[in-house]
């Protein structure tokens, strides 16, 4: 399966605001579903946990998460991952948003509505990309700080 991230729209073919029944028409039934830790909605997991669709309590899509190896992933038609290769996505995201902020181990690329984790701090157990809605991070990011992107700068 291929997903194409469109900032603050979704990861096509799934868009924010889509109802769960419409997602199921496109992706089929998930392998598992669970409530989100703070009871703000639900998360449905596909392909052995390789990607997930998050919903609010009305079962409306509000985020999508991806782990390496499960899907092809692009942003605005620019390929990030193939099924065979899942390189660090941060260099691509930094070209689109050179000033991400960091909070609780996640980099938030606010210009494009994407988070990454595990790459900037070399933690292979945390490798993931999440696509989020424009209004979902306001409270959370009040304590965020500018991310240290020196690892990715050419010296």
* Chain segment 34-83, per-residue pLDDT in tens: 999 888 899 999 977 689 999 999 999 999 999 998 899 999 989 999 99
Domain range summary for the chain, segments of one domain joined by +: 2-147
pLDDT > 90? residue 135: no
Scanning the structure block, which residue is given the tokens 């700080």? 145
- In this structure, the dihedral spanned by the alpha carbons of residues 13, 54, 108 and 127, taken in order and rounded to 10 degrees, is -90
pTM of the model: 0.91
4: which 2 tokens? 């194409």
pLDDT > 90? residue 130: yes
Q: Phi/psi at 102 (nearest 5 deg)?
A: -120, 140
């Amino acid at each position: 399966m291929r997903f194409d991230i469109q900032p603050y729209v979704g990861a096509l073919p799934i868009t924010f605001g889509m109802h769960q029944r419409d997602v199921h028409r496109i992706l089929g039934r998930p392998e598992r579903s669970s409530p989100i830790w703070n009871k703000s909605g639900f998360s449905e997991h596909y392909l052995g946990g390789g990607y997930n669709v998050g919903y609010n309590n009305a079962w409306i899509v509000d985020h999508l998460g991806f782990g390496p190896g499960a899907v092809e992933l692009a942003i605005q038609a620019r390929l990030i991952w193939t099924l065979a290769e899942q390189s660090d996505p941060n260099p691509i995201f930094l070209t689109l948003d050179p000033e991400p902020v960091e909070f609780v181990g996640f980099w938030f690329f606010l210009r494009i509505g994407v988070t990454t984790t595990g790459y900037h701090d070399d933690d292979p157990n945390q490798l993931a990309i999440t696509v989020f809605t424009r209004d979902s991070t306001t409270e959370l990011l009040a304590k965020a700080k500018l991310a240290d992107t020196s690892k990715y700068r050419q010296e």
